[in-house]
Structure 1
Amino acid sequence: MPRTPTIFNEARMRAMMDRKGLDLVIVRGVENSRYISEFFHNGGNLGYRPFCVFYFRDPAKKPAFVVPAVDLHLAMTLTWIEDVRAYAMAEFFTDVDTHFYDDFAGAAQAILAERGVKGMKVGTEGDNLTSGFRTLMDGILAGNSVEDISFDMEMVRMVKTPEEIRRLKLATEITVKAHAAFRAAIRPGATDNDLHRAACLTMLQEGATAVNFINVGAGPANSFAAHDPFPRGYTLQHGDFVKVDMGAQVLGYSADFVRSYFIGTASQRQQDIWKWLNEVQLELCAWIRPGVTGGEIFDRGYKHISKYLEKFPREFLGHGIGLGSHEQPRMNAVNRTVVEPDSVLCVEYSYYCDGVRHHTEETFHVHATGNDHWTKDCPRELIVKV
């Protein structure tokens, strides 16, 4: 029975295609193909195993979805797209009694021929595609005009549907609880493995469908690191710096925010830096609203922090979040993307001092009249008393 998309914003997609005069959009990138098809496939990152959506502006030309044969039945079950086709990959036949194309190109050519794709304006992901796949598509699309719509797809995905917002909010709420468990485990004698384990278990116990990432910095070995993906078995000591950047995942959508701590004591300079970073960050979060650009957010936030810390080292001060960890609007000096209602944003500040990297990050949902600060209740006191 046909179903209506709940993640894919079809109206926003059609508006983009109307604006650019596109007849057809073909996406093969992992995030974009998941977004349109709503099938959260594994393996699309492999160059030889594409999952590819063909989406037409003309509603009389139905969309099509091409997948490896091994994933056909699950794709047919989970996508809203009715025309799902498979090419031989991993298996030559399955429990689905249907024709398998010899390769992806055969399936793609059949779809284009059946839909009468000739002399059309076609959007693809351009330079974001692997060189081999791009060469293949250039040949298949000969006789059509091809345009790179990578940025345009970012703009389509920037504004979230209610279901996307639900998943992101739940992922953030779970990650707030994981941060609390992480902080509670900080004490001399514990290891970074103990902290990592506490956060992971809490995420899963609270309903996360996956642990997307946990980057722990603890002690002299990696207190300077932005993203150290593995605990090192380090035993915490009084006075150590501890930082964690983490995100629980709910049905393909992950949270992303950061807290930093000192065990028992911190210098006045460290306390001042942390106070300034949080003060400026919270003010900036409260100010952001629909209609401002990524560049305006950066300019305001950079000007404010520069009152306290000269030559601030950040190239950007935040990003959108969704299926990807960093989406539009990217908040840097040159970004002119306009924030729209139902964007979900992260604002982050970091600063190096005496061998440690202070890092704080917040997540919030922008709506028509302002924003909801999802991480406001996550403690941000710098010193953990032991």
Structure 2
Amino acid sequence: MDREVLARQQIAMREFGLDALVAHSPDNVAYGAGYTVPSQSLGMRNRQFVTVCTSDGQSAMLLTANEVDEARDRSSIERLYPYDEFTEDPMAVLAGMLSDLGITDGAVGIELDAFPADRWQDLQRLTPKVGWRPAAAAFARARMVKTEREIALLRESAGIAVRAQMDAYPQLRPGMTEREAYRLVADRALALGADKIVMIQVAAGERSIYSNPSPGGTPFIAGEPVKFDVFVTKEGYLSDTGRSVVVGSASERQRRTWARMQDVFDVIRETIRPGVSTREVWDVFVREFGARSMAPAIRFLGHGLGLSLHEEPFIAAHSDTVLEPGMVFAVEPIFVDGREGYHLEDNLLVTEDGYENLTPQFGRELVEC
């Protein structure tokens, strides 16, 4: 297992009083293994994949036999425990793997929110002395602070997402459909090196207020806003960044709205630094929006970003986590003005003395295509 990833999980184990962590979800398995297992990304639920790390620094991986060659090539985990998906019980193999790691008792964290109920019952029966504990919070804690490799991949995916959007802007025109614009951004993102297009939201006119719109046949109308939000990956690590643009010329009201949003974002960015809490950042956002007679459009300002789209911590009223260097956020002070939605979202890295914008290529001005 990658040394930094193992160290992050060991920190979480100490905080939560655990002797080991057992991952089953695609994102936490990818976190431990160092790559996304193809069978998991395809949603093949009958195939079981598990990574385990212990408080004393050991690690191992359960996987189907057909995935062994790629795991040997791509994973930093050396101890692999393959099983035949048609003739062997994966939980029996997993129990043996745990025993080899010295996990026959003690407090062990496991993803109860991801483990299949029938497999979980089998594993409990095979490990009667293990004190199993829910591990969702421990994994979330480990993944809050990114490793150098994770930061590099997030920076790369963010850069691709921004460049793909900016390269598409000059080609937008009235009458073009959302789906046609989607193709422009998607094709460019792949050409720039994205591994995967997870989603590209394109929403024109009144659809710009939708939270997660799929691009369709709605045509662009001159003077109406179009929402773009782009999710691409590099080695599983996501971008989540976008802008609203206006096809044709924007109105003065639209320009003023955008300028106010950017002014608020300036204050938010300068608030982000180690030692500040997520609740404090949220309070600044609400205060600055309110001073301009604006109201938040959603229940949070930002969220952690990594192998999953919404990771802890959130920047919201319900969250009070202290910012640390290495945290990466998607920050989106979005606004709805009647039936027009305005999307503004950057990816920000918390540094030792402030923040780094991973999406600096976007300018301040409202784009008019």
Question: Shared fold (TM-score greater than 0.5)?
Answer: yes
State the TM bucket, normalised to the shorter chain.
over 0.9
Q: Of the candidates 197, 215, 236, which is equivalent to residue 220 of structure 2? A: 236
- CA distance in structure 1 between the partners assigned to 2:349 and 2:302 by the alignment: 13
Q: Please report how far the alpha carbon of residue 180 of structure 1 lies from its aligned counterpart in structure 2 after TM superposition.
A: 0.6
Q: Please report how far the alpha carbon of residue 116 of structure 1 lies from its aligned counterpart in structure 2 after TM superposition.
A: 4.1
Which residues of structure 1 form unaligned runs of 5+?
93-100
Q: Please report how far the alpha carbon of residue 142 of structure 1 lies from its aligned counterpart in structure 2 after TM superposition.
A: 2.2
- The answer to whether residue 244 in structure 2 is matched with residue 260 in structure 1 is yes
Which residues of structure 2 form unaligned runs of 5+?
none
- CA distance in structure 2 between the partners assigned to 1:210 and 1:313 by the alignment: 29
Q: Of the candidates 347, 351, 354, which is equivalent to residue 363 of structure 1? A: 347
1:97 aligned residue: none
In terms of fraction of residues, the more helix-rich structure is: 2
- The answer to whether residue 339 in structure 2 is matched with residue 381 in structure 1 is no
1:54 aligned residue: 52
Q: Normalising by structure 2, what TM-score? A: 0.92
- CA distance in structure 2 between the partners assigned to 1:140 and 1:300 by the alignment: 52
For the 8 Å contact 1:350–1:360, the answer to whether it is kept is yes
- CA distance in structure 1 between the partners assigned to 2:70 and 2:211 by the alignment: 37
1:15 aligned residue: 11
1:27 aligned residue: 23
- CA distance in structure 2 between the partners assigned to 1:218 and 1:111 by the alignment: 53
Q: Please report how far the alpha carbon of residue 12 of structure 1 lies from its aligned counterpart in structure 2 after TM superposition.
A: 2.1
1:81 aligned residue: 77
Q: Of the candidates 196, 210, 229, which is equivalent to residue 182 of structure 2? A: 196
Q: Please report how far the alpha carbon of residue 248 of structure 1 lies from its aligned counterpart in structure 2 after TM superposition.
A: 2.7
Worse-superposed segment, 30-39 or 180-189: 180-189
For the 8 Å contact 1:24–1:122, the answer to whether it is kept is yes
Q: Secondary structure at the match of 1:298?
A: helix
Deviations 1:337-374 (A, max 9, x none): 22111111121022222322211111121110111112
2:161 aligned residue: 175
Q: 1:343 is matched by which residue type in structure 2?
A: M
2:133 aligned residue: 147
- CA distance in structure 2 between the partners assigned to 1:173 and 1:116 by the alignment: 43
Q: 1:322 is matched by which residue type in structure 2?
A: G
Q: Judging changes above 3 Å, is the alpha-carbon distance between structure 1 residues 208 and 103 closer, same or farther for their aligned structure 2 residues?
A: same
Q: 1:252 is matched by which residue type in structure 2?
A: G
2:211 aligned residue: 226
Q: Secondary structure at the match of 1:223?
A: helix
Q: 2:287 is matched by which residue type in structure 1?
A: K
Q: Of the candidates 248, 251, 255, which is equivalent to residue 235 of structure 2? A: 251
Identity of aligned residues (%): 27
Q: Judging changes above 3 Å, is the alpha-carbon distance between structure 1 residues 351 and 310 closer, same or farther for their aligned structure 2 residues?
A: closer
Q: CA RMSD in A?
A: 2.1
Q: Secondary structure at the match of 1:349?
A: coil
Q: Judging changes above 3 Å, is the alpha-carbon distance between structure 1 residues 377 and 63 closer, same or farther for their aligned structure 2 residues?
A: closer
Q: Please report how far the alpha carbon of residue 302 of structure 1 lies from its aligned counterpart in structure 2 after TM superposition.
A: 1.2
- What stretches of structure 1 move > 6 A for 4+ residues in a row? none
Worse-superposed segment, 310-319 or 367-376: 310-319
For the 8 Å contact 1:285–1:347, the answer to whether it is kept is no
Q: Please report how far the alpha carbon of residue 72 of structure 1 lies from its aligned counterpart in structure 2 after TM superposition.
A: 1.9
- CA distance in structure 2 between the partners assigned to 1:283 and 1:378 by the alignment: 17
